[in-house]
Homo-oligomer: A and B are copies of this chain.
Amino acid sequence: MSATKKQIVILGGGFAGVYAARCLEKMLRPEEADICLVNRENYWVYQPMLPEVISGSIGLTDVVAPIRRLCPRTHLVMREVEDVDLKNRVVTVSPGFRPRQKKIPYDYLVIALGEVTNFYGMPGMLENAMPFRTLADAIALRNHLIHVLEEADVEEDADLRRKLLTFVVGGGGFSGVEVLAELNNFVRDVKRSYLRLRDEQIRCVLVHSRDRILQEMAEPLALFAQKILKKRGVEMILKDRLVAATSEKAILKSGLEIPCKTIISTVPSGPIPVLAKLECEKDKDSLLVTTGLELVGYEGQVWALGDCASIKTASGKPVPPTAQHATREATTCALNIAAAIHGGQPALFTFEGLGTLGSLGHGSAVAQIFGMKISGLVAWLLWRAIYLMKIPGIKSKFRISMDWFIHLLFPPDLAQTRLEQESGIKNQHFEPGDIIFHQGDLGDSVYVIEKGECDVIKEDQGASRVLATLRAGDYFGEMALLADKTRNATIQARTAMEILLIPKRDFDTLRKSVPAFGEVFHELARKRAPAHAAAPVDAPPPAAPN
């Protein structure tokens, strides 16, 4: 019997992947097939409720469910997918504790890996904009919000305080609007716990490329949502979009700059790298499938579901990337795999959608169901009822109901759950005119210029003069670290720049252990110091900008 036992491998643990595994567990007997699911996390995220993690109205782990509990018969492999070999029917996953890759052969493959955030061509976004897809993203955002509030309460510089209290969200689809609404509610609710912030201005800005938000819904509902958000103090910038970012500001296509320390981007998406290199037919970057959800060219062997696939219903309508569609795709796919094993006709995907729902928090939502348009408290109650009903498992239903009940009675939680922050070597983007560091700052990093130019400026009794200009390949900032002093020159970008930051801790470790590395900077420090006996330990001698 085990000779004919089929190996089914599912890639991805989102709605599509997990529901496919659940359906297959029901449709196939254990002796017919082994089901294996590969996902980088061991939990499935109930995506519609993820924004509620920001305010803590749902507990951090109540919005997720362990995949092992949802699919008890499925073998979970908590690793990254590194390669899919369609010809030889083998999936390769990343190493675990042993530095060896693991190969998983399959008879039937389900690809449901979703998409990734892709900031290609948007300088500084990768370093400074926070995505919002996973539980880790939501927790990181929550911790970041608490961090900026804490700092704003302590900070004495009024400009910096305004930046700390400005929050920019890019993308006015469901995801962007729900994140912004939760964020806005949260920061305004907790402000009263911060003694010095009581009179400070909080700015929450939504940037959207179209002339109204919530393109997925009818116009009256979108306008209702805009009105509610405006009433709650949200600024909306329409027909514009994020194009670049630095650690100090968001930059829009129109040229508008918003000084801020928090940028969240819910767009744009791109194909995940392992699928980008897959050789098969595609529609733009998405995997092209038949109406039976089979990968074109690999019918009867490989299925693709969810956001990574380009799907049309039997009637020819393109399928949007929502949870309700993904779960139905999972059912169709499972039916077709069962048909491939048992024999029979494959099913076609015909689900046309039931409607759309978006929450604005604080007792308000917009809904468009079976052609009806509903807004306000009724829509919000509907939103809660539907999503609570849909979440699998009694434990989750119970916990979330409790969370909501407690959230009604008590103010939102404020505890930051960050783990130890290891700051490593990282890149940063600067725009022309940006100050990279100020004379008098503590020296916390060494800088290597990868692209662009900057001026070394000495400030002395109110006057300032440019000592030198540094270019790609130049290093700076070493002297404050080598001498353990504060910066004694200001560095300002002349052009857009890409810079590598080596934090003090790594710099000290490397120069001790790899003497040639340290020598580069010691040499530089020796060259720079004598030319300006008076000071500029962080500046090169004007004559030798290398």
Give A43 to B41 CA distance when docked, in angstroms. Answer: 28
The number of chain A residues with a CB under 8 A from chain B is 88
A28 to chain B, nearest CB (A): 16
Q: Does A69 belong to the interface (CB within 8 Å)?
A: yes
Q: Does A424 belong to the interface (CB within 8 Å)?
A: yes
Residues of the B chain whose Cβ atoms lie less than 8 Å from the Cβ of A66: 193, 413-415
Total copies of this chain within the assembly = 2
B interface footprint on A509-522 (CB within 8 Å = 1, 0 otherwise)? 11001101101100
Partner of A415 from the list B42, B95, B154 (CB cut-off 8 Å) is B42
Whether the Cβ atoms of A154 and B77 lie closer than 8 Å is yes
Whether the Cβ atoms of B514 and A442 lie closer than 8 Å is no
- In chain A, positions 36-67 with a C-beta closer than 8 Å to chain B are 41-43, 56, 59-62, 64-66
Residues of the B chain whose Cβ atoms lie less than 8 Å from the Cβ of A150: 42, 76, 78
A422 to chain B, nearest CB (A): 5
Q: Does A370 belong to the interface (CB within 8 Å)?
A: no
Whether the Cβ atoms of A500 and B517 lie closer than 8 Å is no
Q: Does A223 belong to the interface (CB within 8 Å)?
A: no
Give A515 to B395 CA distance when docked, in angstroms. Answer: 56
Partner of A398 from the list B79, B146, B406, B506 (CB cut-off 8 Å) is B406
A482 to chain B, nearest CB (A): 15
Give A66 to B68 CA distance when docked, in angstroms. Answer: 33
Partner of A425 from the list B101, B135, B402, B424 (CB cut-off 8 Å) is B424
Residues of the B chain whose Cβ atoms lie less than 8 Å from the Cβ of A194: 68
When A194-B68, A406-B398, A425-B509 are in contact, do A139 and B99 touch as well, CB less than 8 Å?
Answer: no
A356 to chain B, nearest CB (A): 28
Whether the Cβ atoms of A195 and B75 lie closer than 8 Å is yes
Q: Does A31 belong to the interface (CB within 8 Å)?
A: no
- In chain A, positions 169-209 with a C-beta closer than 8 Å to chain B are 193-196
Whether the Cβ atoms of B43 and A160 lie closer than 8 Å is no
- In chain A, positions 67-85 with a C-beta closer than 8 Å to chain B are 68-69, 72-73, 75-79
Closest to A61 in B: B415
Closest to A45 in B: B415
Closest to A393 in B: B410
Give A394 to B411 CA distance when docked, in angstroms. Answer: 12
A22 to chain B, nearest CB (A): 15
Q: Does A240 belong to the interface (CB within 8 Å)?
A: no
Whether the Cβ atoms of A406 and B417 lie closer than 8 Å is no
Whether the Cβ atoms of A99 and B437 lie closer than 8 Å is yes
Give A543 to B278 CA distance when docked, in angstroms. Answer: 46
Give A485 to B394 CA distance when docked, in angstroms. Answer: 49
Q: Does A140 belong to the interface (CB within 8 Å)?
A: yes
Whether the Cβ atoms of A420 and B516 lie closer than 8 Å is no
Give A60 to B96 CA distance when docked, in angstroms. Answer: 26
Q: Does A399 belong to the interface (CB within 8 Å)?
A: yes
A163 to chain B, nearest CB (A): 8
Partner of A100 from the list B420, B423, B441 (CB cut-off 8 Å) is B441
A492 to chain B, nearest CB (A): 16
Whether the Cβ atoms of B42 and A155 lie closer than 8 Å is no
Whether the Cβ atoms of B442 and A95 lie closer than 8 Å is yes
Closest to A413 in B: B61
Whether the Cβ atoms of A261 and B97 lie closer than 8 Å is yes
Whether the Cβ atoms of B68 and A61 lie closer than 8 Å is no
B interface footprint on A109-148 (CB within 8 Å = 1, 0 otherwise)? 0000000000000000000000000011001100000110
Closest to A444 in B: B99
Give A65 to B412 CA distance when docked, in angstroms. Answer: 11
- In chain A, positions 392-441 with a C-beta closer than 8 Å to chain B are 394-395, 398-399, 402, 406, 409-411, 413-420, 422-425, 437, 440-441
Q: Does A329 belong to the interface (CB within 8 Å)?
A: no
A–B Cβ pairs within 8 angstroms, 11 of them: A42-B146, A42-B416, A43-B414, A56-B61, A61-B413, A66-B193, A66-B413, A78-B416, A95-B442, A399-B406, A425-B425
Q: Known A-B contacts: A95-B442, A422-B422, A450-B513. Give 7 more (CB < 8 A).
A: A59-B60, A68-B194, A77-B154, A95-B444, A97-B261, A395-B409, A424-B506
The 8 closest A-B pairs by CB, nearest first: A424-B424, A66-B414, A43-B415, A99-B441, A78-B150, A68-B193, A395-B410, A99-B442
